[in-house]
Amino acid sequence: MAQVTAASHGEHEATTTGLNHRKMLMWAFLGSDCMFFGSLIATYLVYKGKSKAGPFPEDVFSIPVTSVSTFVLLMSSMSMVLAYAALTRGNMKAFRIWLASTVIMGATFLAFQTFEFYEFANHEVVVECNDPDAADWTDLQAKVGSACGSFVAGEETEVTIGEYTVKVFEEDGHAVAETTAGLTPRTNLFGTTFFTLTGFHGAHVTLGVIWLLSLFFFSFRKGGVTPKRNLDVDLAALYWHFVDVVWIVIFTVVYLFGVFQGF
């Protein structure tokens, strides 16, 4: 990061295009990273709907929760660009505040993702046996609901249906069937491709958080981050926004399209 200043002590090196070497490298890297995520997304789509066993996307996704984490990541992009703008204006205090909030929002997104992974891995399916909307059940819910036939009032019974062990018991006077249908990378093709794709995106976010955090702490050292050397922040910001646009694609392609079968 410090190489920019250092070289300025040497002779002035003009570049052929007038563009900065490091910024050009960053853009070439982002173009290359498009191919990386493109291949992962292609793998996900090729295998979409090809899983032999559940749980499927419609069983585990919670769009409202993911919408919130998507919103947080989008806002972190805004905060990042405001941090950069503050730095170029020379307002170090505002720069640090916006940068810190970017880091916090990035960490929040990661917390959401951790929660989501944990939730999926321990996913519980609970159905009420006399649910009036039983017609809208997913296949997995219907499978669990099919255990309701062995309901004995006041008792808890266990039934094995396919790969699931379903508990049927009484709760508040209703018959309820419940099972754990966890999704891990080994469960099915959906789990394999979903965790790999979102996991690598999460790894990119983690790297970004570390990078931004380093800049934040470094900005307290004299001459660490200065308005003149805003390129150090500019490059981190480009990376951060790229991670954001990748998530825009993942949110649509993986989550919102998740409900379509055979697609």
Partner 1 sequence: MTTLSFPIIRRPMHPTGVWSWITTIDHKRIGILYGVTAFALFILGGIEALLIRTQLIGPDRDFVSAEVFNQLFTMHGTTMIFLAIMPLGAAFFNFVIPLQIGARDVAFPRLNAFSYWTFLAGAIILNASWFLGGAPNAGWFGYAPITGQAFNPGHGIDFWIIGLQVLGIASLAAAFNFIVTIINMRAPGMTWMRLPLFTWMTFITAILLVLAFPVITVALIELMFDRKFGTNFFFTPAGGNPVLWQHLFWVFGHPEVYILILPAMGIVSEVLPTFSKKPLFGYPTVVLAGALIGFMGWMVWSHHMFTVGLGPIANSVFTITTMAIAVPTGIKIFNWLGTIWKGSLDFRTPMLFALGFIVLFTIGGISGVMHSMASSDAQQQDTYFIIAHIHYVLFSGAIMAIMAGIYYWFPKFSGRMYDERMGKMHFVLMFIGQNLAFFPMHFYGLDGMPRRIYTYDADMGWTALNALSTSGAYLIAFSFFIFIFNMVKSWRKGEKAANDPWDGRTLEWSIPSPPPEHNFDEIPTVHDRDDWWARKRGGVKHGVPVSGGSGEGHAIHMPQPSFWPIVVSIGLLVGAFGLIYNVAVAGIGGGIAMVGIYAWAFEPVNEPDEKQPAHH
Partner 2 sequence: MTQQAHSADAHHAEAAPVHTGHPTPGTYFKVAMALTAITALEVVVYFFEWLSYGIIPILVILSLVKFALVAMFYMHLRYDHKLFSTMFVAGLVLALLVAFALLALFKWFI
Under a CB-based contact definition with an 8 Å cutoff, are residues 53 and 192 in contact? no
Our finding on whether 11 is near partner 1 (CB under 8 A) is yes
Nearest to partner 2 of 73, 127 (CB atom)? 73
Our finding on whether 4 is near partner 2 (CB under 8 A) is yes
Under a CB-based contact definition with an 8 Å cutoff, are residues 182 and 120 in contact? yes
Least distance CB 2 / partner 2 (angstroms): 11
Residues 6+ apart with CB under 8 A from 180: 122, 123, 124, 125, 164
Nearest to partner 2 of 37, 151 (CB atom)? 37
Residue 128 binding partner per list partner 1, partner 2, none, with a CB distance cut-off of 5 to 8 Å that depends on partner kind = none
Which window, 138-146, 153-161, 169-177, 192-200, contacts partner 1 (CB under 8 A)? 192-200
Work out whether the CA dihedral 230, 234, 237, 239 comes out positive or negative.
Answer: negative
Q: Which of 115, 118, 220, 257 binds partner 2 (CB under 8 A)?
A: 257
Our finding on whether 130 is near partner 1 (CB under 8 A) is no
Contact map string, positions 18 to 57, toward partner 1, x by CB under 8 A: -x-x--xx--xx-xxx-xx-xxx--x--xx--xxxx----
Tokens of 127: 């159905």
Q: Of all residues in the chain, what percent are helix, strand and coil, respectively (each to 5)?
A: 65, 10, 25
Indicate the DSSP class of residue 149.
G
Strand order of the β-sheet with 124-128 is 124-128, 174-180, 164-171, 157-161
Our finding on whether 5 is near partner 2 (CB under 8 A) is yes
Residue 174 binding partner per list partner 1, partner 2, none, with a CB distance cut-off of 5 to 8 Å that depends on partner kind = none
Indicate the DSSP class of residue 85.
H
Our finding on whether 7 is near partner 2 (CB under 8 A) is yes
Residues 6+ apart with CB under 8 A from 205: 73, 106, 109, 110, 113, 243
- To the nearest 10°, report the CA torsion of 241, 245, 248, 254: -120
Contact map string, positions 199 to 228, toward partner 1, x by CB under 8 A: -x-------------x------xxxx-x-x
Backbone torsions φ then ψ of 133, nearest 5 degrees: -95, 25
Q: Which of 16, 35, 93, 133 binds partner 2 (CB under 8 A)?
A: 35
Orientation of helix 21-46 relative to helix 189-218, angle to 10°:
160
Q: Which of 51, 70, 141, 187 binds partner 2 (CB under 8 A)?
A: 70
Our finding on whether 16 is near partner 2 (CB under 8 A) is no
Nearest to partner 2 of 7, 126 (CB atom)? 7
Our finding on whether 115 is near partner 2 (CB under 8 A) is no
Residue 63 binding partner per list partner 2, partner 1, none, with a CB distance cut-off of 5 to 8 Å that depends on partner kind = partner 2
